[in-house]
Amino acid sequence: MTDTVTIYHNPRCSKSRETLELLRQRGIEPQVVEYLKTPPSAGELAGLVAKLGIPPARLLRSKEAAEAGVDKTLPDSDLIAAMAANPSVIERPIVVKGDQARLGRPPEQVLEIL
């Protein structure tokens, strides 16, 4: 059995759309999570950060975080809570397969885990 591929997607984002198209071109129909409509919980975000292998601050969109008043220097647990409360500050897209995840910036980066 192959692991399900999930994309945390924002259809208004060009990189997110490009990443989704890249997956489909390779015959992969991922589970699509429109994270602005269905925000991940703090626990899910902590899991994503672990799978990405990055500190939570690297998952923040700078402009949106500044607009939302989210300070990148907050402790990790506070950053994750802030992202759960303000999903627009989460960098996108995130593609997950099994115990690995990659940001689709650039979109081709997600191919590393497929």
List the catalytic residues.
13
Tokens of 58: 């690297």
DSSP letters spanning 82-102: HHHH-GGGB-S-EEEETTEEE
Q: Which residues of 84-100 are buried (b: 16+ CB within 10 A; e: fewer)?
A: bebbbbbbbbbbbbeee
